[in-house]
Structures are given as C-alpha cells and as structure tokens.
Chain A
C-alpha cells in the first residue's frame, strides 16, 4: 500500500528522448494500466519506477519518499517480467523464496510463506520442479508468486500476459484482477493490449512517443478520448477518423463534400477539423434510393453475432458494425445514419479533442462495449 508520485520525470539516451517530462499521481491501492504502442516509453517508465533504469530528470516518490537515487531493493517494488525471468537453476519453491532468503528470513518461516503463496496460486504440486518443466501459464504463476511473497508496497507488471496464448491470457487477466481486489497493493501494469487495459484498470494512462496522451478511467478514455491518437488506438476496430471543414455551427463538410450534422460547435466556418465515430455508433440499414449517406462496401468480416463492414465513405476508408443478417450476401452499399451525439471532434492541427456541448452528457450515455463495472 503506497501512493506513487511522478513529477516531471524524463528519460533520454544521449539526444534521443524516450520519456518527456511526465507527471502522474497514483493513489494507494490503485490499479493503473499504462497503455501505448511499442516504443512509446511505457516500459521505460515502469523500469524507472522499479529502479532498473536511471531517470534523466524529475522526481519519483513512493509513499512520500523520493527514490531517485535508491537501489531497486530499497524501493519496495516487486516486478513481473514479460519473459517471467525465473531462475532456471532453482526449483519453483526456491524461485519464490529467493527474496526471503536474501532478506534473511528463517527457513521454517520461509517454507511456510512459500506454501501459503503456492496454495493461493495453485502451485503446491509443482514446488519441486524446475522452470523448464513448467508450461507457460505455470511459469506465469510462479513469477506472480515470486512477486507476491514479499508483500510489496507496489506491484509492477511489464506486459506479463503477452507470451501466453489467447485463452490463457483471458484467464490470467481475470486472476490478476481478483488478486488485486484481495491484496489491494498499488499496481502498475504496462501493456499494448487495449482489452487488458480496459478490463484491468482503475485508471488508464495512454502514452504515445514518450508523452502522456490521456489519463482517465476506462470509460472516460472510451467516451471522451482526449486526442486523435487515443481515439484511434483504443477501440476494436479503431474509430473512424475523417477530415472535414466546419461549415456552420452544427454542420461540417467532408473532403468529398458530404455534409455531416454535428453537435453545436463554437468554431469559425472554414476551420479544418477531424471527426471521429466508432464503428458500432453508426446506424446502418439496407441501401435505399435515398440521397443520404451511403457506404460503398469493399468487404465484410463476419464475426457471428455481428459483422464488420469495410468500405469507402466521404473519401476515407470507413468501417461499421452491422447486424450479421444485414451484411450477409455481400451488399454493394449500406445506408448510414450518424447521430451528432455520437461524434468526436478533434483539432486538425494539434489532434486534441474539441469540446462540444455533448461532452458533459457523454459520460451519462450507456456504454456500448461494457468494460469492467
């Protein structure tokens, strides 16, 4: 249990900047997921908190103590590595007990604690095995056990699920969240997988190119993406983003001249903007002879319950979610209905979100894809 405060922390290798003046406050017991594409600096951030990487500028404080110059072992963090980093020459029990052994805990107590943690994780039968004799999921559990046994103030996870197959990943994801609910230690989890981020996090930190794009709860990130980057990164399929020009207070025109109604804007006519809409927020129907909005269909991905229909709209690639029946038989066109409240607007130059009157109401809207409640 500890809160972490990160102030203007930066990391650079020579002239290459990896993390730029980053601010983040993590409350005690919170589960934070750092989400971003590879190379965005998220792992570097985690390693700086752990003390495995020196920080180039700024301060990191754990529980009010500035830890910039402290060795990893003095920081009270435990980490689960992407490749698990189990000691190949030690048994499962020795792997989990190593931290206690180093700390000088007596053998009897050590064994008792190993036994307790092993039971929690279902590893009791495997204690005498070597890591090489374990399956991927079992290794993952041992790595978790090794982190848990010290009862650390902070848990750090560096993409721990990315080496598992899809089914196991879902299962471990649930177990990690359950574990957190029980131990309620402060946790920081780094991933590039948005589903992991949405399902695990109390709050998500979206990073891109060494900077924080947005910090918010999963629902905030989903409903009010703070930038074009977040909008395009979170969501499967990614949000449709279309270049447009402001025409009136409530209408923009796409590059090919298609008009789109928007929530009330306070922008001068002629301002370039980017409008975004999620595939599942677009209303679709069979194409009629109505001169309304039409998607020229390229191909259909059937998912069973629904279908993703890819095509061209307004001079851009565009994807919508359609009922499976509607997408059957490869229609040439679909009629689209875009409701102004479903639109996201971004500044064309900076990529930041443009506030509209909808934003206040946005969070009240029912979630389309329900993340963990």
Chain B
C-alpha cells in the first residue's frame, strides 16, 4: 500500500488514531469482552459477586428446546422479512427507474420509514393490524377469527415481518434505484433494439447487473433482521403468543432483564454474535463467487 502521509515522530500518527481507538474500545471491544466473561460465570441478579462456571451456560442453552424455538423463529423471520423487503424495494425501484407517474414523490418519500424508530412504527402497526379495530378488522367481519395476531402465532409472525419489512423497503429501494440508474442507459437501449420488451430487459440485462447490490443488501437485511427486530417485537407482540414471535434478540432481553438470568443472556448474545459473523462469512464465501462484478 502506498504511504500517504509521513509524520515527524512515531507517536503523532498514534495520537491521531487514539480518539477513534478509545471509542471503538469503549463501545465495542469492552462490552463484547464483558459479555464473553459473563457468559462463563453465574452472575447474581442483584450484583455482588459471581461464580466461574466455564461453558455450563452454553450447555444449558443449547439443550433448551425453548432456545432452539427462538433460533427457528429468527430464521423464519429473517428469510421472509428479507425476501419481502428486497422484493418490494426492487419492484418500486424499477417503477421509479422507468419514471412512471409519481416517481419523483416516491424517490423522497420512500426513505422516510427507515428514519422512524422501530418502537414508534411498531406501535403504528399494532393499531393498524389490531383484529378488532384495525385496517384488517373487515376480514374478521367476513371470516370471524381469521386474523388475530394476539391468539394465532402465525398471524403474529406475519405482523412483525410486515412491520419490519415496511421499514427496510425504503432502505433497499434507495440502493436498488441507485444501482439501476448506474447501469448505462445504452445497455437497455441496445437490448430494446435487439427486440427485448421491458420485462425481458429487466430479467436479462438489469437484474444480472444488480447482483452486487442484491448481495450487499442480503447481508445487511439478514444481519439487521437478527438485531433491529427487537423494538418491533417488544411493542407488537412481546414475543407472544406462546413464544411464537420470540426471536433470539428478544429472548436475550427477556431472559436477561425480565428473568434476571444475566449469565444465560450473555451466553445467548455470544451465540448470536457468532451466528451473524458466520452467516456473513458464509455469504461472502459462497454467494459472492456467483456475483458479476464488472
């Protein structure tokens, strides 16, 4: 690598880096290190000492069927919310790229949901999806009891997936749109002259050239669905009914701060951290190979 700057004394460069190092250490390495330490001890709920237990916490968690339930729910949530958020984001981006009516408005409006705090949007969706008074209440008029996220676990999962996707549609949209507009216009024009209609052009020319963006958003969306889902689940379902929407990140909070099992929660967060790192590595290793970079 090219050496861009030279300093008169060896410590000047380090002095410049120190503020950043302090920030990263304080807010990332230190808490992560603490979590690792706690996960191997048994913490007293009210403080005042702990006992070293080695890997017992992990052993207990990994043999707990309720924990595996939350893992499965998290993957279901990640899969469907990512598909929905990316699918809708892509469709909207294609519409705006084709400059259909109203595209100038969408372009600005679409990013707003991403700026809304998860609990706030969860509250809004809780009202909208309320079975007795919300937008879907008419469904229950036609088929009583068909929609009830308070009782039916599947309905509750659908509700949190929809709320989460709504937030990330705008985020995905912005990236898809900029990627679509980065494709040279002459390519789609050449395809048009080659006889391809717009759907065919989308499939044969634009989508293959979007693969780097799809890959990037896949990593971001899946990672965020494991982390950013907490506020939505907390406000909309509190993990219920009957743990149907108890995602891993929610179970960490619940076991730790409600159940006061700090050590178990710390162990769970270590597992979640390893899982996210593993998924990202996996995606980079296996999916990136199939991506067409120019």
List chain A positions with a Cβ less than 8 A from chain B.
50-52, 71-73, 77-79, 81-83, 85-89, 98-99, 102-103, 132, 146, 150
- For A88, give its contact among B193, B194, B294 (CB under 8 Å): B294
Residues of A within 8 A of B192 (CB): 51-52, 71-73
Asked if A78 and B292 make an inter-chain contact with CB atoms under 8 angstroms apart, the answer reads no
- The segment out of B122-130, B161-169, B200-208, B219-227 that lies at the interface is B200-208
- The distance in angstroms between the C-alpha atoms of A178 and B189, with both chains bound, is 27
- The distance in angstroms between the C-alpha atoms of A82 and B192, with both chains bound, is 16
Supposing A85-B187, A89-B292, A132-B294 touch, asked if A102 and B209 sit within 8 A by C-beta, the answer is: no
Asked if B193 and A78 make an inter-chain contact with CB atoms under 8 angstroms apart, the answer reads yes
Q: Count of A-B contacts with CB under 8 A?
A: 61
Asked if B193 and A83 make an inter-chain contact with CB atoms under 8 angstroms apart, the answer reads no
Residue of A nearest to B190 (CB): A85
- The distance in angstroms between the C-alpha atoms of A81 and B193, with both chains bound, is 11
Residues of A within 8 A of B205 (CB): 87
Main secondary structure of the interface of A (DSSP, over half): loop
- For A102, give its contact among B186, B194, B208, B292 (CB under 8 Å): B194
> In the complex, how many angstroms separate the beta carbon of A165 from the nearest chain B beta carbon?
21
Residues of A within 8 A of B187 (CB): 85, 87
Name, among A51, A73, A77, the residue most crowded by chain B CB atoms within 10 Å (CB to CB).
A73
- For B193, give its contact among A50, A82, A87, A132 (CB under 8 Å): A50
> In the complex, how many angstroms separate the beta carbon of B162 from the nearest chain A beta carbon?
34
Asked if B191 and A88 make an inter-chain contact with CB atoms under 8 angstroms apart, the answer reads no
- What are 23 A-B residue pairs whose CB atoms fall within 8 Å in the complex? A51-B192, A52-B189, A52-B193, A72-B189, A72-B193, A73-B193, A73-B196, A73-B197, A79-B190, A81-B189, A85-B184, A85-B186, A85-B187, A85-B190, A87-B187, A87-B191, A87-B205, A88-B294, A98-B191, A102-B194, A102-B200, A103-B195, A146-B190
- For A98, give its contact among B194, B209, B294 (CB under 8 Å): B194
Known: A72-B189, A87-B191, A146-B194. 7 other contacts (CB 8 A): A72-B192, A73-B192, A73-B194, A79-B189, A87-B190, A99-B194, A150-B194
Bitwise interface map of B from 204 to 241 toward A, beta carbon under 8 Å scored 1, else 0: 11001100000000000000000000000000000000
Residues of B within 8 A of A71 (CB): 192, 197
Asked if B200 and A85 make an inter-chain contact with CB atoms under 8 angstroms apart, the answer reads no
Asked if A98 and B204 make an inter-chain contact with CB atoms under 8 angstroms apart, the answer reads yes
Residues of A within 8 A of B209 (CB): 88-89
- The distance in angstroms between the C-alpha atoms of A86 and B205, with both chains bound, is 10
Residues of B within 8 A of A150 (CB): 194-195
> In the complex, how many angstroms separate the beta carbon of A247 from the nearest chain B beta carbon?
55
Residue of B nearest to A156 (CB): B193
Q: Which residues of B (13-49) have their CB < 8 Å from a CB of A? A: none
Residue of B nearest to A147 (CB): B193
Supposing A85-B187, A87-B205 touch, asked if A99 and B292 sit within 8 A by C-beta, the answer is: no
Name, among B184, B194, B200, B294, the residue most crowded by chain A CB atoms within 10 Å (CB to CB).
B194
- The distance in angstroms between the C-alpha atoms of A81 and B196, with both chains bound, is 17
Residues of A within 8 A of B200 (CB): 102
> In the complex, how many angstroms separate the beta carbon of A100 from the nearest chain B beta carbon?
9
Asked if A99 and B184 make an inter-chain contact with CB atoms under 8 angstroms apart, the answer reads no
- The distance in angstroms between the C-alpha atoms of A88 and B204, with both chains bound, is 11
Residues of B within 8 A of A98 (CB): 191, 194, 196, 204
Residues of B within 8 A of A85 (CB): 184, 186-187, 189-190
> In the complex, how many angstroms separate the beta carbon of B209 from the nearest chain A beta carbon?
6
> In the complex, how many angstroms separate the beta carbon of A167 from the nearest chain B beta carbon?
25
Residues of B within 8 A of A102 (CB): 194-196, 200
Supposing A73-B196, A89-B208, A89-B292 touch, asked if A81 and B191 sit within 8 A by C-beta, the answer is: no
> In the complex, how many angstroms separate the beta carbon of A227 from the nearest chain B beta carbon?
33
> In the complex, how many angstroms separate the beta carbon of A294 from the nearest chain B beta carbon?
53
